[in-house]
Amino acid sequence: MTSPRRNNGNGTPLASHDAMEQTATVYVVDDDPSMREKVRGLARLMRLGFREYTSGEAFLKAFEPNGPGCVLLSLEVPEGGGLRVHQSLQERSVFLPTVFLARKVPVSLAVHAMRAGAIHFLEKPCNDDQLWEVIQEGIALADQRHRERLARSAIRQRIAELTPKQRQMLDMIVDGKPNKAIAVKLRVCTRTVELWRAKLMKQLGVKSLTDLLRVGLCVRMEDGSGDHDGCPSCSCRLGILPLSESSAAP
């Protein structure tokens, strides 16, 4: 197989998996052996892990979310069909970047698939360039989500280590309370609040008040709705610093 072009058509290199901390995996769920063989060859060229399944049921039984990856999912796959397989993954809180494949693509079905969270919808037969690009895009998105989950986990750990007074202070900061109001509530002087806030920022690994607010908003969202890939204010999008030695807590 000839290696397809490695850019997005504008001369910009696509994201490489080499920077990822662990090898990503391409899953193909399709009863068409020629499609599975084509994707297998591309995955080998891209140095990605590869898993293939001939039915939706086989994929759902075998799949374990143990790292970043993307799935190429045929709408006509036996035992479930692509849309039902995709829905089953979402019900498990598994949000793999998904590319739907079909021999014919009715507009209404394509719209439904995109609304369900697909990143692309390809009509068969697909050429190598098309598959290369959607796989690269899917893996890059999966890597981003994977890193965001790791960052959220680190933030949850740091939040869990806050004292009750630190958590109360963070809540008031997120509520937009000025230092003077926080000082009155905590029965300390304004200067003490400023010092405590600086220590809080250091402990959470953020550099600015804006980042501190985003951390607080992220925590509130998780408290209310669990995982939230794609949250625009998510703390995982920040340059979170390594855990620092705790300063004297308030």
Give the domain CATH number at 231: 1.10.10.10
Contacts of 2 (CB under 8 A, 6+ apart): 128
pLDDT digits (tens, 9 = 90+) for 199-218: 999 988 888 888 888 888 87
Among candidate residues 69, 106, 99, the one with its CA nearest the CA of residue 85: 99
Which region among 29-38, 59-68, 139-148, 236-245 has the lowest average model confidence (pLDDT)? 236-245
Percent of the chain residues past pLDDT 70, beyond the cut = 79
Single pTM value for the model: 0.64
Same domain, 143 and 31: yes
The token pair that represents 51 in the structure block: 């898993």
Q: Kindly state whether residues 125 and 178 are assigned to the same domain.
A: no
Q: Domain count of the chain?
A: 2
CA distance 131 to 28: 11
Residue 120 lies in a domain: yes
Task: Specify which of 68-72, 144-148, 242-246 reaches the highest per-range mean pLDDT.
Answer: 68-72
Distance from the Cα of residue 150 to its chain's centroid: 9
Residue 31 maps to a domain: yes
48 domain-assigned: yes
pLDDT in tens, 118-155: 888 888 888 999 999 999 999 999 888 888 888 778 88
Determine the 3-state secondary structure of 120 from DSSP: strand
CATH number at residue 43: 3.40.50.2300
Q: Which of 57-61, 79-83, 90-94, 106-110 has the largest mean confidence? A: 57-61
CA-only gyration radius of the chain, Å: 23
Q: By residue range, what is the domain housing residue 211? A: 161-237
DSSP secondary structure letter of residue 24: -
Residue 233 lies in a domain: yes
Q: 25: which DSSP letter?
A: E
Helices (H), 116-177: 128-160, 164-174
Q: Do 128 and 22 belong to one domain? A: yes
108 and 46 in a single domain? The answer is: yes
The more confident residue out of 241 and 70 is 70
The answer on 224 and 111 residing in a single domain is: no
Q: How large is the angle between the packed helices 179-186 and 190-204, nearest 10 degrees?
A: 100
Rounded CA separation 94/149 (Å):
12
